[in-house]
Amino acid sequence: MEERFNFTVSRADTFPRVDERTDLKYHDKNVIHYDFSGVDDEVATGEIRCMCESLSQVGLQTEVRAGEDQSLLIFVRAAAELLSTEIYKSRVKDWLYSITKTQPQVDKKSKAQAAKFTFEAESLLCVYHLVTFSRENGGAGITPEFGRWENVKAVFPIHNEPANRQLLRHLSKRFFLTKDDLDQIRDLFGSKVAFYFAYMQTYLLFLSFPSVTGILAWAFLPKYSLIYAIITLVGCTMFLEYWKIVQADLSIRWDVKGVGSLKANRPKYRYEKVVVDSAGRPKHYYPKWKSFSRQSLQIPFFALCLVVLGVIITGVFALEILVSEAYQGPYQSYLEYVPTLILAAALPYINSLLEDAASWLAEFENHRTHDHHEMSVTQKLFVLSFIVNYLPILLTAFVYVPLGNQIVPWLGSQLPGTLGDKLDKHFFQKDPDRLRNEVIALTLTGQLSDMFEEMVVPYAMHRIRSWYHAYKSYRSHQASFNAVSPDDPMEKSFLRRVRRQASLPSYNVQDDISEMVIQFGYLALFSPVWPLVSVGFFINNWIELRSDFLKICIEHQRPHPTRTDGIGPWIHSLDALTWLGSISTAAIVHMFGTETGWSNTILGHTLGGVSWWSLPITIFVSEHIFLVLRAVVRFILQSVGSEEVRKERNERYVRRRKYMDELEAANRAKEMLDVGAVQRRKSVRMADSDIFWTKQVERGSSAETGVSLIKALGRDETLVLDKKDN
């Protein structure tokens, strides 16, 4: 915590050779990128007037500069006073929705103090909300690429480049990130992005375990080892339960626990009418049956995807069988894997095509909040990636290898001419190594093509684009904006950087999370096939963590520091994958472990070797072992508990205790009244209309009366007793 970076930079960084005493801060600046190439001047002037008017109505300050081509950059910031009020307001809101437990103080001084203890992401988010929130919610209502603001290409915060550089340098020096490092990412990019890095970090830490056991299994255990499969599955389960605790921990640490309840409507959400409920709360009504029937469209969609992808993958397989079984020419052993390699390289592109269809479908489903919309997209993407990534391996493991001796001759009989004859005559040999090679090919090429798609392609595209840009303006001798309104030389380099950022795509953290979830799936589903796979993942992810940070810094617009309390629905995907892993690894060990000549598996023994009828039993048994195991792990880890939860509980106790003590102290203080107040009270009581209460007004007189009564009555009693004795 001590070495927080100061995210303000001196003005000299942005405007060289200028007064260095004034600070230029990045924390409150958003840029609106307005493109007027598609509309005529009249519309454009009208829109820009309206935009500036709306912005200044909310109290935002604006500066307009020329952008690339026919576009404008509208720099927006909030004055210090407005910003501190907004931050304060959002904190009060957080407290009202019990996202934070500490009540913000109301006086002016602490309000100013609150603004001082803010971090960059918080201020940026406030300004972003002021720009994009609807008027009813206190914003200027500027919604990029939607409605009347269709020509607004983007609203984005400016990268704090010095802070990015500093943090990247810091991250590359560390082997594992600490909580403070994650805090710094949160301060810069907001909790949504920071949770990705936190997940990545926890996952990387966990991967070191299967990497070590993987090397040991590879060296000492037989292929398709049951022991290794069990160890990996236990590891996966423990990791997942541990991550849930880490996530809860961080959500408390970053004051975002339950932040989903605070989300505003998406601008694209369409409702039929506004209904006011009994509490006087206006609600946007959209019929349940409509959204349900729209959502049920995803079932045929997935079925179609499964069929299309299934056909493509089976086609590639058939081609591969042809090459490996019927082709006897040179380079046969290499050519055999060419179709799989082509498939692996083509998968990301097929995937992105289907992703577009999925996001269109999610848009059609009309979700109210951005979170729900994103959740829906995410779930669809997960199912798609699941099919695309794992179907080839599942087909190989459970169809091609066990049933190949029936399929291949059949394929031969279907083919015309000599090709078919060759295939028919050629004796099909079962090759369990095929599965291993398949997994290696798919994971390795998958990692490489992901890296290529993430780093190389965007960079190349950007280079080509800017080159084309320069070429076009050179060829057309077009009067560039520089000729019309030259930049202030002091702002030149700053504007150049912002123009560059305006041309970059926005960042979507879900892509990166999805990549990691799919990778986790390979480990959970197919770990016994190739134990060394986790070593590759470990190395890849160590680099990936840093390269993803770099990617956000240089290849994307700075992400909006959106707040979330975790990685969202991905948790369920991970849960599903470990559960499926218990089935899939058991089946693989059952079928291949014994087939390679090693029938010493415990299950293989008890179930009498490998046979098809015993496969469901293996699956059933292992799945139930897994469910028990998960329950045990969950119980143990949750009783160990989270540090932040404990801290929060203690703080809550201290807070309550303090409140009660204060109440007590106040009561006691009232008891110790001064003489005048006692006198006043006495006279008030004397004047009471109920005479009953006016007899023992003097302090202590009630006690005295009581004592004298006891004495008197006691004497009486002794008298009575005396009488009895007599």
Angle of helix 338-365 relative to helix 370-395, nearest 10 degrees? Answer: 150
Q: Between 198 and 591, whose beta carbon lies closer to Ca ion?
A: 198
Q: Three-state DSSP class for 277?
A: coil
Terminal C-alpha separation, the chain: 88
Quote the least distance from Cβ 203 to Ca ion, whole Å: 12
Q: What is the 3-state secondary structure (H, E, C) of 163-232?
A: HHHHHHHHHHHCCCCCHHHHHHHHHHHCHHHHHHHHHHHHHHHHHHHHHHHHHHHHHHCCCCCHHHHHHH
Q: Is 512 in the site for Ca ion (CB under 5 A)?
A: yes
Q: What angle do CA 177, 182, 187 make, to 5 degrees?
A: 150
Candidates 139-147, 487-495, 505-513, 712-720: pick the segment binding Ca ion (CB under 5 A).
Answer: 505-513
Number of chain residues interacting with Ca ion (CB under 5 A): 3
Residue type, 613: W
Our CA dihedral for 710, 714, 720, 726, rounded to 10 degrees, sits at: -170
Q: Is 548 in the site for Ca ion (CB under 5 A)?
A: yes
Quote the least distance from Cβ 516 to Ca ion, whole Å: 7
Candidates 219-227, 266-274, 540-548, 684-692: pick the segment binding Ca ion (CB under 5 A).
Answer: 540-548
d(CA 559, CA 241): 29
CB 294 within 8 A of CB 373: no
Candidates 75-83, 267-275, 548-556, 595-603: pick the segment binding Ca ion (CB under 5 A).
Answer: 548-556
Quote the least distance from Cβ 186 to Ca ion, whole Å: 18
How far are the Cα atoms of 76, 128, 131, 257, 483 from residue 124, in angstroms, in the given order?
11, 6, 11, 20, 33
Candidates 103-111, 334-342, 462-470, 510-518: pick the segment binding Ca ion (CB under 5 A).
Answer: 510-518
Q: Between 181 and 515, whose beta carbon lies closer to Ca ion?
A: 515
Q: Between 187 and 515, whose beta carbon lies closer to Ca ion?
A: 515
Q: Between 255 and 450, whose beta carbon lies closer to Ca ion?
A: 450
Candidates 18-26, 191-199, 455-463, 542-550: pick the segment binding Ca ion (CB under 5 A).
Answer: 542-550
Q: Three-state DSSP class for 22?
A: coil
Contacts of 62 (CB under 8 A, 6+ apart): 52, 55, 56, 74, 75, 76
Quote the least distance from Cβ 552 to Ca ion, whole Å: 10
d(CA 708, CA 698): 16
Quote the least distance from Cβ 78 to Ca ion, whole Å: 33
Q: Between 374 and 548, whose beta carbon lies closer to Ca ion?
A: 548
- Report 41-60 residues binding Ca ion (CB under 5 A): none
Q: Between 458 and 569, whose beta carbon lies closer to Ca ion?
A: 458
CB 521 within 8 A of CB 386: yes
Q: Between 122 and 515, whose beta carbon lies closer to Ca ion?
A: 515
Q: What angle do CA 202, 203, 209 make, to 5 degrees?
A: 105
Q: Between 149 and 199, whose beta carbon lies closer to Ca ion?
A: 199
Candidates 329-337, 421-429, 487-495, 543-551: pick the segment binding Ca ion (CB under 5 A).
Answer: 543-551
d(CA 149, CA 55): 13
Candidates 141-149, 241-249, 515-523, 594-602: pick the segment binding Ca ion (CB under 5 A).
Answer: 515-523
Quote the least distance from Cβ 586 to Ca ion, whole Å: 31
Token pair in block for residue 458: 């965007």
CA 245 to chain centre: 15
Nearest to 64 by CA among 89, 31, 94: 31
Q: Residues 464-503 vs Ca ion: string with x where CB under 5 A?
A: ----------------------------------------
Quote the least distance from Cβ 201 to Ca ion, whole Å: 13
CB 226 within 8 A of CB 587: no
Quote the least distance from Cβ 207 to Ca ion, whole Å: 15
Q: Between 298 and 557, whose beta carbon lies closer to Ca ion?
A: 557
Quote the least distance from Cβ 115 to Ca ion, whole Å: 35
Quote the least distance from Cβ 243 to Ca ion, whole Å: 18
Q: Between 354 and 513, whose beta carbon lies closer to Ca ion?
A: 513
Q: Between 47 and 548, whose beta carbon lies closer to Ca ion?
A: 548
Quote the least distance from Cβ 231 to Ca ion, whole Å: 27
Count CB atoms within 10 A of the CB of residue 603: 18
CB 152 within 8 A of CB 74: no
Q: Between 450 and 595, whose beta carbon lies closer to Ca ion?
A: 450
Q: Between 94 and 544, whose beta carbon lies closer to Ca ion?
A: 544
Quote the least distance from Cβ 510 to Ca ion, whole Å: 11
d(CA 353, CA 450): 15
Residue nearest to Ca ion (CB): 512
Candidates 270-278, 475-483, 546-554, 681-689: pick the segment binding Ca ion (CB under 5 A).
Answer: 546-554
CB 184 within 8 A of CB 5: yes
Quote the least distance from Cβ 551 to Ca ion, whole Å: 7
Q: Is 447 in the site for Ca ion (CB under 5 A)?
A: no
Count CB atoms within 10 A of the CB of residue 553: 20
Which residues of this protein are in contact with Ca ion, per CB under 5 A?
512, 515, 548
